[in-house]
């Protein structure tokens, strides 16, 4: 925010700086920023005061300095445009998918390790309000005789887990990358 140290003071001259986090670094080079969402504007209650301040300030820096803003969805493009960012500076760059092949024996081993049934619903992500587990739990309740929900990911902040009542919800916390892939 103070404009220092610049990227170039650490790296030497660069042709372009790409900020993939939400805080754009100081640079003399053209700046490209990636935004996955503007959830802090859409759902401010899902963020703490400090988070809203940091993200709001970062948005202002990107609006002022970024030559291009890459958005991972058309919804994010629309949110950026609603914040006054010119559409000619916005580009849709969807998230990539890494195909993987998992050995069926690894799947069986992980299922046994965590005592899981053959079929279940899986949520992977940091447990925090903006992930909206409340809505997911409510949707599962509406299904009636639903599959168990397996929740994988580190604890974040706030009240992310709703009251689960009689639903079969398994909180696994952090797991290894290999286990996550097999899950």
Q: What is the pLDDT averaged over residues 157-176?
A: 78
* Residue 48 neighbours by CB distance under 10 Å: 14
Q: What is the pLDDT averaged over residues 93-104?
A: 84
pLDDT at 166 over 90: no
What digits encode the pLDDT tens for the residues 64-93?
A: 999 999 999 999 999 999 999 999 999 999
pTM of the model: 0.62
Residues near 145 by beta carbon (within 8 Å), at least 6 away in sequence: none
Higher pLDDT, 90 or 132: 90
What digits encode the pLDDT tens for the residues 1-60?
A: 667 788 889 999 999 999 987 788 889 999 999 999 999 998 898 888 888 898 999 999
In 3-state terms, what secondary structure has residue 152?
A: strand
């Amino acid at each position: 925010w103070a404009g220092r140290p610049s990227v170039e003071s650490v790296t030497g001259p660069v042709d372009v700086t790409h900020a993939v986090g939400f805080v754009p670094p100081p640079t003399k080079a053209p700046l490209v920023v990636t935004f996955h969402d503007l959830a802090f504007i859409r759902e401010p209650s899902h963020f703490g005061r400090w988070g809203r301040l940091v993200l709001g300030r970062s948005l202002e820096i990107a609006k002022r300095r970024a030559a291009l803003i890459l958005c991972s969805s058309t919804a994010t493009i629309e949110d950026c445009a609603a914040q006054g960012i010119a559409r000619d500076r916005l580009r849709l760059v969807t998230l990539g998918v890494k195909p993987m092949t998992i050995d069926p024996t690894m799947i069986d081993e992980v299922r046994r390790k965590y005592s899981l049934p053959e079929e279940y619903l899986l949520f992977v992500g940091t447990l925090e309000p903006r992930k909206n587990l409340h809505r997911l739990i409510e949707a599962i309740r509406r299904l009636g005789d639903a599959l168990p929900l397996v929740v994988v990911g580190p604890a974040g902040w706030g009240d992310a887990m709703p009251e689960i009542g009689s639903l079969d919800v398994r909180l696994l916390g952090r797991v290894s990358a290999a286990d996550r892939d097999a899950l």
